[in-house]
Structure formats: structure tokens, C-alpha cells
Amino acid sequence: SLTLREEEATMSPASARALTVDSLNPKVLALADHLRGAVAGRAQRMQKELETNPGLYPFDEIIYCNLSNPHYLGQQPIKFFREVLALCDYPHLLNCSVTSSIFSSDAITRAREILDLIPGRAMGGYSHCQGTEGLRNAIAVGIATRDAFPCNAEDIFLTDGAAAPVHMVMHLLIRDEKDGILCPIPSHFLYTSSMALCGATLVPYYLDESGGWAVSISDLKKQLDGARSEGITVRGLVVVNPGNPTGQVLVKENQCEIVEFCRIENLVLLADEVYQENVYTDEKRFISFKKIARSMGFGEEDISLISFHSVSNGYYGECGRRGGYMEVTGFNSEVRKQVYKVASLSSCSNLAGQVLVSLVMNPPKVSKYASHLAFAFLYTF
């Protein structure tokens, strides 16, 4: 019997379509099946039914909570952020006398500072493929302040949200289906779908619900050994902290165990930390995995760590602005060249997102001369 490709080769141009579902990349087809959610699909059908038959259900509106979309759900944008973005996008306003009565002095000052960092003050132009150098420097300062450990701006890649760098890293790590990634269950679909598209083998590990959704090192070891026994080369470990969809905040001791596990097993630690502002209890606090590793005395030679953050969540919730970064540490110069090569394929991330990341990592500070400005970023429209 002929294979699909052999059949295609025998067809005349008139009888063959340029593209059919069967001739698509099978990884894409597997991805489509993976992403198709029964709950979301049912919600969409119910919404169409409500449009044609309003009284069909005991409600008249469906609110989609399957994706984090804060502004769509009613969260108001932060005034300070939007003021700075408006002034950067339309610098002419900085020379208008009426501007000082519309925009806060903090926003005006910050916009001037940011525009001076952007070559040609061109918000509509390309930046360096890693992101505008001055903005990366500002973000590095914010990370260093957060962690109390140094941060090198050259380790930072500004990206269109957190999804883009995750896909980028998967392409860097995954060679074929014999490569795998340890991924938490339950988890956000971003990682499992990205692995499916790259053709990687998902190596699941299961969060301990009875222990507050902690990461069980014994389960990690079990899943890792099981994958290796089947000929899978496990390249990395994904940890989402604070968690999605579980909402857990890992305790320091558990984080230390994870770092030590990755160091011993020679795994790249992929730390999804995009929910670091989403901690709503005094009993818990976010600590970055980089801070944990450095506090344990581990440096660049000891562990490979990639940390992800974005402006989509937290008190800002600017998911539509597509701003984010990854901080890449623990890789030699030759590997870093390859990371840079992949990053350069997209030219650069959008400038508005880059600006927002710099604002999130460096919000207004308390001033003894103008303490009322300390909370300017909390005022919403």
C-alpha cells in the first residue's frame, strides 16, 4: 500500500489540493486535540444558544474564567502605567502646558526617562532583539532589589508575554521525541501544548494536594527514573510558583529541595513566576528560585535556571499588552549564543510591553517630600 506522501506524489496538480488536514504537520494536529477544552467548548455553544434563545438557561451571561484575563473580568488598569504609556506613545504631550494638569508628575518624569532610553525615542521602531538596553538595566535593578542578589542585564530577554519565551526554550531544549520535560499536574496548558508542538515527551509529576499542592521530591524521582528507564532523556523541570491552577505558594524548604534535585540530576530548572504578585495571605510570601539558589550558595556553575515573568497578572493584569521577560542564568557562552540566535528570530518584543515590564519591576517609590505620590500607581481609572 502507498503511504500518504507516495499517493500525493502520484496525483496530478488538478486532482490534488495544496493542503489537506491529513497533510498537515501531525504535531499541529496533536496540539489541536490537546487544546480543545470540553468546558470552554460547551460554554461557547451555550453562549450562541443564549443569543438565539435568551430564556433557555437561568442566566443571561457567561463569564469566561478559563484564561487569566483580569481586565476583561472588570479589573481596572493602573493609572500610572497607562499615563506613562500614553506619554511615551505620544511624546508631543510632554511639551503641552495642559499636560501637568492631566498627568501625574511621577508619570511625566518617568516617561521622559524612558524615552531617553529608547534609540531615537521611537516607540514604533525595533529595539535590540533582547529588548531595549536601558529598560533591561532598569529591570535588572528591580530584580536585584527583589532578590537581594545581583542581576546582570545581559541575562534578561524581554519578550511578548511569558508564552513566547516558553516556546523559545522548548525549541532550544527538545531535539526529538526521546527528549522529555518534567511538568506538574495539574498545570497550565502552555507547557503541555508547547511540548506537544515540539514533539517532546511529557513526563508528568503530580502535586501533593494533601500537602498544600507541594512538589513531592519522591514523586519527582520516581517519574524521572521511570522516564529514563524508557529511554527518555529528561532535559528540564517546570515549576509554577505561585501555582496555576492550584494557587499554592511553595515554602522555602520545598524550593530548596527542588533546586538541589535539579542540581544533582543535571536538569534545567524552568521557573514560571508570573504570579508572584498574586499572594493574598500574610502567612506566605513569594521567593524567586534564583534567590533560593543563590542563598544556598549555588552560582552560575552549579545550576541552569530560566525564570519567566510577565505583566499579564498581579495587580496590573495587562495581559493584552504582551510584556514579559526571561532571565537566563547558568549557561556557558556557547549555549548563550544559541539562545540569542533563537531570540533574534522575532526581531524584538513590542515596545509598549517592554516599557510595562520596566514599570512593574520599578513602581513609584515612597518620597518623604511627596508621600502622596507613593500610591499614584494604585489609583485606577
Closest by CA position to 311, among listed 377, 249, 264, 255: 377
DSSP H/E element including 339: helix 333-344
pLDDT value at residue 35:
57
pLDDT in tens, 11-53: 555 555 678 888 888 888 777 555 556 788 889 899 999 999 9
Range with lowest mean pLDDT among 70-74, 210-214, 246-250: 70-74
% residues pLDDT > 90 (the chain): 69
- Grid cell of 331 as nine digits: 549557561
pLDDT value at residue 15:
52
Q: How far apart are CA 49 and CA 91, in angstroms?
A: 47
* Average pLDDT over the chain, rounded to an integer: 89
Cα-based angle 170, 184, 217 (whole degrees, multiple of 5): 115
Sheet containing 268-272: order of strands: 156-159, 324-329, 305-310, 268-272, 233-240, 179-185, 201-206
Looking up cell 544556598, which residue turns up?
A: 296
In sequence order, which residues have a C-beta less than 8 Å from that of residue 312 and are 6 or more positions away?
A: 68, 161, 162, 274, 318, 319, 323, 324
Q: Is the pLDDT of residue 76 over 50?
A: yes
Q: How far apart are CA 65 and CA 292, in angstroms?
A: 32
pLDDT value at residue 374:
41
Instruction: Report yes or no: 106 and 373 within 8 Å, Cβ to Cβ.
Output: yes
- Grid cell of 105 as nine digits: 508628575
Q: Is the pLDDT of residue 78 over 60?
A: yes
Backbone angles phi, psi at 202, to 5 degrees: -75, 125
Give the confidence band of 73 by pLDDT, cuts at 50, 70, 90: confident
Tell me the CATH architecture of domain 127-361. 3-Layer(aba) Sandwich (3.40)
- Average pLDDT for 104-132: 93
CA 220 from centroid of its chain's CA atoms: 23
pLDDT value at residue 16:
58
Q: Beta strand pairing status for 268-272 and 324-329?
A: unpaired
Who wins on pLDDT, 195 or 369?
Answer: 195
Q: Is the pLDDT of residue 381 over 50?
A: no
CA 189 from centroid of its chain's CA atoms: 12
Q: How far apart are CA 148 and CA 299, in angstroms?
A: 14
Sketch the domain layout of the chain as residue ranges.
Answer: 127-361
% residues pLDDT > 70 (the chain): 90
Closest by CA position to 88, among listed 130, 119, 122: 122
Give the confidence band of 6 by pLDDT, cuts at 50, 70, 90: low
pLDDT in tens, 259-287: 999 999 999 999 999 999 999 999 999 99
pLDDT value at residue 20:
84
pLDDT value at residue 11:
58
pLDDT value at residue 358:
97
Instruction: Report yes or no: 195 and 205 within 8 Å, Cβ to Cβ.
Output: no
